[in-house]
A and B are shown apart, each in its own frame.
Chain A
Amino acid sequence: MSIFYKELLIVDKNNKTARKIQFEKGINIITSKKNSIGKTSLSLMLLYSFGAKVKFSDKWNLNDIFTKLTIEHDNNDIIIIRYKDTYTIKTSNESFFYPIQKYGYSDKLYELLGLTIKIKDKNADTFSTAVPSLYLLPYFLAQTNSDSDRTIFEDLAMYSKSDLHDALYYHVGALDNHYSSIIQQLTKAKISLENLKSSKEKQYLEIQYLEEKLNENKNVKFLDEDYDLDSDIKEFKKYAEKNQEYYTLFKQKTEIKHKIKLLNKTLSDNEVYTIKLLNEEEIRCPVCKSDITDFISSALTIGMAESDVNSEISELKSELLIIERKIAQLKPKLDHQREILSKIETERKNTNITRAILVWNEELNNAKGNFAETQIQIESHEKLLKDLNSKIKAYTEKKNAADLRYRMSFSNLLEKTNIDKQGISIDSLNLYDSISLSGSEIPRVAISRFFALLESKNAESIVMPIIFDFPNLDMTEDNLIRCFSLMCKKIKDVNKYPQSFVFSIDCLERIQSSQEEIPFAHIIDLEKLTIDDEEHPKLLCKKDFLDNSKEINEMLS
C-alpha cells in the first residue's frame, strides 16, 4: 500500500499569490543555493495540507492560506483542500466537506487510504481514529535542534507517550487493525468481570440472608388458606364503634363533671354571700336591713338558688351515674373486642409470615439460579480474558521483535553517522525513544533514529512518502558526508521508499561529495521558479496565482 504526493497548490487569497508544484514518484530533491527561500515552509505545507497541525514561522498567516494536495493511491487521485480547519475531500466521483477536522475528515480520509490506526482517548477507555499527524510522524524528519523532533506536530501533545509508542508500533507492523478492538474488548471484559464478581458477592449475601430468614421461621406452621377478610373488617368496625361510644360517654362524663364543678362553685360563692347576710353586712339587692321579713326574703332567694343548684346537681349526678354505669358496662365489651382484634392481628401476622416464606423460597431459588448463571458468565469471561491476553501477548512479542530490530538498526546507523555509543544504553531503548544528547550530535542521532525506525518496518507496515528536511547545522564535513551517504543509500531503494522528499541547501553538491549517485531524481530548484521579489524571495508568487486562477477560483468557491 503506497501513497504518493502528486501536486500541491498553496494559495494566499489575501495577497493573491500562489505556488503550484508537481512531485514525482521516487526521489524529489527540493534545493536552493540560498537560505530562507521556502524549503522548510514547503515541507511543512506537505504535512499541513494533509491535515497535520504544524508550527509555521510567523511569516505565514494561515488564516489566508488555502492548500490543495493531490495524492495518488491505488492509481486513484484524491484531492484534499484545506482552509484553516475545514476540509474538502474529492475523489473522481465524490466530494465531501468537513467543517472541522475531528468531525469525520480523518475517518473519511483513512477509509479512502485504507488506514486504520485507532488510539486510546486520553482520560477515557474509548478509542478513536488517529489524527493525520500520527501517520506522518515517522516519515518526517525536521530540521531539528532538539532531540524530540516530534514537537513539530502540535496536536500530538494530547497523546500520552505510550500511546504515541503504540502508534509507531502500528507503523512498523507490530500492531494491526485488530489491536485496538482487542484492547477495547479486554477493557470491557475486565470491567464486566469485575461487575460480575461484585454481583456474585451480592447474590451470595442475598442467599445467606434468605437462608437465614427461612431458618428462623422453619418452625412456622403453614396457613394455606386466607382468613375471611370481611368478617375481620367487621370486627375492626365493631371495635371502632365501641371505642367511639366509649369515648363519647367519657366525654359526656367529663362535661357533666365540669358542670357539677361549676354549680358547686356557685354554691361556695353563695356561701360567702350567705355569711354576709348572716352577719348583717351591707349587700346589694335583694337584702335590706335586719328586719326579719326582709331577712326571710333574702334567705328565700338564697334558698331558691341553692335548691335549684342542688336539684340540678342531683340531676347531673344521676346522669353521671347512668353514664358511669354505661361506661362500666361498655369497658369489658371494649376489652373483649380489643382481645379479638389482637387475636386477628396475630393470625394475620402469621399469614403474612407464611406468605413471606413462600416468597423467600422463590427468591432463594432465583438467587441460586442467578448465582450459578453469574458463575458461568464469570468463567466464560475469564476464558475470553485469557484468549485476549494471549493475543495481547502475541502483539507484545511482535512489539519486542520490532524493538529489537529497531535497536540493531539504530546501533548500526549510529556507527555510520559517527556517534560514540558509549554512554548510550541502547539495550533499553524502545521504538523512537529519545536520547539526551547535545550539540552537533543531535541531527546525526535524529537521522540514525529516523532510518532505524523506517528499517524496523516489515511487510505489513504503512508506507507514506518520506519527507526529509535536511538539518542545516554545523556538522563537520565528514559527518555531513556520512549523513548524506546514509540517506542516499536508503532512499535509492525505491521499493522500500516509493517516494521521498529531500529538502536541503546545495543538495546536489552534497550528494556528490558523499560520493553517492541518485539517478532519476526529480529536482526542484526553488531559485529557478518564478519569484516576485528577488531581494526578499518568498515561496508564493503572483504568477502562479494568475496562471492557476481558474483552479483557484474553483477551490475558493
Chain B
Amino acid sequence: MVVKLREQVGTDVVRKFDYQMAVALDYLLSYINEDAIVLIETLEDFAVLHNFDTETEKIDIFQVKTKNSGLYTKNSLFDDNVLGKIVLTDFYFDSRANSLNIICNTNLKGTHTEILDNFLFEDKLTDAESKKLKENVMEYIKKKEPSFIDDLAPYIHKLIYIKSALPFSESQDRYSETLIGKTQNIIAQHLGDENHCINPQTIFNALKIIIDKQRRNRLEDGHVDMKDAIKIKGISTRNVKEIIDKAADANHLTKKEILNHASTIFSPEEYLKIKEEYSTFLAYKSNLVDKAFIETKNIVEKEYKELTSKYDSIDEIVREVAYNCSLKISYYSLAVVQILTILVVFD
C-alpha cells in the first residue's frame, strides 16, 4: 500500500531523545503484549499500527505538543493549524486512521470553559467552538490541498486530545526514568520472572538507539510504500521482545557477582584493591572504542585455555591466569587484570 506523505519539516539528525520519541516509546511499551508497530515521523510525530496488514488492522496517528509553562490553549491549537495538519495527513492516508490524537504535557485550557482532560473534541466543544474549529481546519486544508472535497465530520469525529501521562521536562532524565521503570515491568512480564537480572536501562538504551536510528532514516518525499516505511521508520513490539531475549541470553556478571568471586579467590588486600579499581576496570571494559581491552581479553582467554588443563581448582586457575597475564600486560594494573580474568572465566 502506497501512501502520500504530508510535507513535513526535515528531521534534525543530531536531535536528542526528545519528548515526542519518549511518548512514542511509551506507547510501544504499553502495547507490548499486542502485535503493534510504532511508525516514527511518517504519519505526524508517530503512528501506532495495531495488527498491521491484517483484517483487524487499526492505526492511530499522534501529534505531540509541549508547553513549558502554563496550559495549552484552544487558541494555540487554531493558530498553529495543528488540527488542520493532522486531518490533512489522514486525508492523504485515505482516512484509514482510527483516531487522530493531539498529545500534550498539559491539560487544554478553554477560553471560557473549565480545564479539560482527555477528551474527544466533538464531545467537549461548544457549538461555536466546533464551528470555529471546522472553519479553521477547512481553511488550512483548502490552502494546502484545493482538491479536498470530503466532508469534515468523519475527521473531526476522530480528533482526540490527550493529556500525556509522561512527565515533561527540558532534560530527558525525568521521562527517561519513568520509561525505565516501565521497561523493568515489561521485562518481568515478558520473561515471566520478577527477579530477572537484566538491567532495564540496558533495554531502554538499546531502544533509544534503535529509535534514533529509525529517526535518522529518511523517506523520499511524496509517495511511499507502507511496508518500506515500516522497515526504515518503524519499531515493533516484536523488536522489543527480541532485545529482551537477546539481553537474557547475553546476561553478564553484575558488579556484585564479580566482587563476590574476587572476595573468595583473592587475598583480602587484593580484594580491596579490586573493589577500589572496579570503576576503572568498567571504564576500560565499557569503552567500545578501546582496542587494548579486547586485546587484553584475548590474552587472558588464551592463558585461561592453556592453564585449564593444568589445575583442578577453578580458583587456582583464576589466580594463576591473572598473575601470569599481569606480567604480560603492562598497561593495566593487577586488579584490573584480575577482574577481567573473573569475567572471562565466570561470564
Given contacts A278-B216, A303-B206, contact A269 B282 (CB under 8 A): no
Whether a CB of chain B sits under 8 angstroms from the CB of A212 is no
Chain B 197-227 against A: per-residue CB contact (8 Å), 1 yes, 0 no?
0010111111111101100100000000000
Q: Are B278 and A296 in contact (CB under 8 A)?
A: no
User: A-facing mask of B158-194, CB < 8 A → 1, else 0?
Assistant: 0000000000000000000000000000000000000
Contacts A292-B239, A302-B206, A303-B209 known; A270 to B250 CB distance under 8 Å? Answer: no
Q: Is B135 engaged at the interface, CB distance under 8 Å to the other chain?
A: no
A301 CA to B205 CA, complexed, in Å: 10
Known interface pairs A272-B289, A297-B246. Does A304 touch B282 (Cβ–Cβ under 8 Å)?
no
Q: Chain B at the A interface: mostly helix, strand, loop or mixed?
A: helix
Residues on B facing A (Cβ under 8 Å): 199, 201-210, 212-213, 216, 239, 242-243, 246-247, 250, 252, 255, 278-280, 282-290, 294
Is A262 in contact with chain B by the CB < 8 A criterion?
A: yes
In the complex, which residues of chain A have a beta carbon less than 8 angstroms from the beta carbon of B287?
A: 265-266, 269-270, 305
Interface size on A, residues (CB 8 A): 36
Say whether B280 contacts A259, CB under 8 Å: yes
Least Cβ distance of A251 to chain B in Å? 12
Q: Which residue from chain B places its CB closest to the CB of A267 in the assembled complex?
A: B286
19 inter-chain pairs at a CB distance below 8 angstroms, sorted by A residue, are: A263-B282, A265-B287, A266-B287, A269-B287, A269-B288, A270-B289, A272-B289, A273-B289, A277-B213, A279-B216, A295-B213, A296-B239, A296-B246, A299-B210, A300-B206, A304-B202, A307-B204, A308-B199, A308-B282
CB-contact partner of B252 in A259, A273, A304, under 8 A: A304
A184 on interface, CB distance cutoff 8 Å: no
Instruction: List the A side residues contacting B207 at CB < 8 Å.
Output: 299
Judged by a CB distance under 8 angstroms, whether A316 is at the interface is: yes
Name the A residues within 8 Å of B282 (CB-CB).
Answer: 263, 266, 308-309, 312
Chain A residues with CB below 8 A from B285, complex form? 305, 308
Given the known interface contacts A269-B287, A316-B279, the answer about A307 and B210 at a Cβ–Cβ threshold of 8 Å is no
Q: Check: A472 CB closer than 8 A to any chain B CB.
A: no
A303:B204 contact, CB within 8 angstroms: yes
> Which B residues are in CB contact (< 8 Å) with A302?
205-206, 209, 288
* Cβ-defined partner of A263 (8 Å) among B199, B252, B283: B283
Neighbour of A300 across the interface among B243, B289, B294, CB < 8 A: B243
Q: Is A146 on the interface with B (CB-CB < 8 A)?
A: no
**CB-CB contacts of A282-293 with B at 8 A, as 1s and 0s?**
000100000011
Least CB separation from B244: chain A residue: A300
- Candidates B199, B206, B288, B294; contact of A311 at CB < 8 Å: B199
- Does B283 lie within 8 Å of A265, measured CB to CB? yes
CB of A306 within 8 A of chain B? yes
CB distance from B288 to the nearest CB of A (A): 5
Nearest A residue (CB) for B289? A269
**CB of A310 closer than 8 Å to a CB of B:** yes
Which chain B positions have C-beta within 8 A of A301?
Answer: 288
A279 to B203, CA, bound (A): 21
Give the CA-CA distance A299 to B203 in the complex, in Å.
Answer: 9
Question: In the complex the two chains form, what is the Cα distance from A308 to B282 in whole Å?
Answer: 8
When C-beta atoms are compared, the residue in chain B nearest to A314 turns out to be B201
Chain B residues near A296: list those with CB within 8 A: 206, 210, 239, 242-243, 246
B48 vs chain A, min Cβ distance (A): 19
Q: Given A278-B216, A296-B243, A300-B243, are A305 and B288 also a contact pair (CB < 8 Å)?
A: yes
Residues in A whose Cβ lies below 8 Å from that of B247: 300, 303-304
B203 touches A303 (CB 8 A): yes
Q: Does A274 belong to the interface (CB within 8 Å)? A: yes
In contact, A300 and B250 (Cβ under 8 angstroms)? yes
* 10 A-B pairs with the lowest CB-CB distances in the bound complex, closest first: A303-B205, A307-B201, A303-B206, A305-B286, A259-B279, A299-B209, A299-B206, A262-B283, A307-B202, A266-B287
- Chain A residues with Cβ under 8 A from B243's Cβ? 296, 299-300
Inter-chain contact A277/B209, CB cutoff 8 Å = yes
Contact B201 A293 (CB under 8 A): no
Contacts of A272 in B (CB 8 A): 289
Q: Are A269 and B209 in contact (CB under 8 A)?
A: no
Interchain CB contact under 8 A, B279 and A263: yes
Taken together as a complex, chains A and B put the C-alpha atoms of A306 and B209 apart, in Å, by: 11
